[in-house]
Amino acid sequence: MERHRNSIEYEVWGRYALFSEVATRVGGEKCSYQVPTYQALKGITESIYWKPTFKWVIDAVRVMNKIQTESKGVRPIKMSGGNDLSYYTYLKDVRYQVLAHFEWNDQREELAGDRDENKHHNIAMRSVRQGGRRDIFLGARECQAYVKPCEFGGGEGFYDSYGEWNMGYMFHGFSYPDENPDHNLISRFWTPIMEDGVIRFESPDSPLLDRHIVRHGLNVKEFNLGKNVTSAEEE
C-alpha cells in the first residue's frame, strides 16, 4: 500500500457502528452499510487532528473483524414532540485499520502561512498516540470508539484471504463549500470493491465517482491566523 510522506496509520474500534444507508434515513429506521464510508472515516480522522489549512484524504480502510449486525429498538425524539419506536441496525464489535494523508486546501489562501507540512504531520502523529483530540464516534454519537497507532496491513484480519467482495452502490462523502471553487455542497457516490478485507478509496476529485449538487453557492466561514485559528507553529 502506497504511503505519502505525511501519512498517518491508525486503528479504530468500538462495540457498535452505524454508517447509515442514505435510503434508510428518510423514515424512522436506520440500517448501517456493511463497511464505513469515506465520509465517516474522514470525520474520525478530523476528530484526531484537523485544521482548515488542509484536507484529510482517506487512502484505504482494512476490515479486521467479521462483519456482524445487531438490531435495537430505540425511541428517537420527534421534532413535533414525543417519540416513536424505531429499529436501528448496527454493526457490532468492529475494528478497522485506516491509512490517510493530508493535502493543502487550495481554497484557503488566507491560511497559506500555516502550510508547514512537517509540523502538522508531527502534531497529527502525536494526536493519534494520544487517542485523538475530540471524542471519536463510528458513524453516530452513540457509537463511542477509540483509536491507537498501527501499521496498516499488520496483524491478522478476518477477510485476509477472502478475495473480492462488491459492496454495492454506496455513499462516498461530501465535498464542502470551502473545498471547491464554486462553494457548492456536493454529494458523492460509488461502488467499492473490498479485496482481502481492504477497500482502496477513490479520491474526492476522481472522475469515477457520481456527483450530485445538493446546494449551490453557499457562504464559506472565514478563518484568520491568530484570530479564530491557531497555526501549527503555535501548537
pLDDT tens digits along 162-204: 999 999 999 999 999 999 999 999 999 999 999 999 999 999 9
| Whether residue 81 has pLDDT greater than 90 | no
- Of the chain, the percentage scoring pLDDT greater than 90 comes to 82
- In a domain, residue 53? The reply is yes
User: In the structure, what pLDDT confidence band is assigned to residue 86 with cuts at 50, 70 and 90?
Assistant: confident
Would you place residue 27 in the very low, low, confident or very high pLDDT band (cuts 50, 70, 90)?
low
SS (H, E, C) the chain: CCCCCCCEEEEEEEEEECCECHHHCCCCCEEECCCCCHHHHHHHHHHHCCCCCEEEEEEEEEECCCCCEEEEEECCECCCCCECCEEEEEEEEEEEEEEEEEEECCCCHHHHHHCCHHHHHHHHHHHHHCCCCCCCECCCCCCECEEEECCCCCCCCCCCCCCEEECCCEEEEEECHHHCCCCCEEEEEECCEEECCEEECCCCCCCCCEEEEEECCCCCCCCCECCCECCHHHC
pLDDT of residue 74: 79
pLDDT of residue 59: 98
User: 80 with 22: CB under 8 angstroms?
Assistant: no
Is residue 85 included in any domain, yes or no?
A: yes
Q: What is the mean pLDDT of residues 31-40?
A: 97
Domain at 82, CATH number:
3.30.70.2660
pLDDT of residue 78: 67
Question: Domain for residue 172, yes or no?
Answer: yes
194-221 average pLDDT score? 96
**Residue 57 falls within a domain, yes or no?**
yes
Query: Is the pLDDT confidence value at 158 over 90?
Result: yes
In a domain, 1, yes or no: no
7: region left, alpha or beta (phi > 0 left; psi from -120 to 50 alpha): beta
49: Cα within 13 Å, side-chain hemisphere: 26
Band of pLDDT at residue 25, cut at 50, 70 and 90: low
Could you read off the pLDDT of 115-147 as tens digits, one per residue?
Answer: 999 999 999 999 999 999 999 999 999 999 999
Residue 64 lies in a domain: yes
pLDDT value for 50? 96
Whether 3 maps to a domain, the answer reads: no
pLDDT at 84: 73
For residue 77, pLDDT over 70 is answered with no
Note whether residue 34 is domain-resident: yes
Domain of 39, in residue numbers = 8-234
Task: Compute the average pLDDT of residues 87-105.
Answer: 96
How many structural domains are present in the chain?
Answer: 1
Instruction: Kindly report the backbone phi and psi dihedral angles of residue 123, in degrees, each rounded to the nearest multiple of 5, phi listed first.
Output: -65, -40
Q: How much is the pLDDT for 204? A: 96
Asked if residue 220 has pLDDT above 80, the reply is yes
**Structure confidence at residue 22 as a pLDDT band (50, 70, 90):** confident
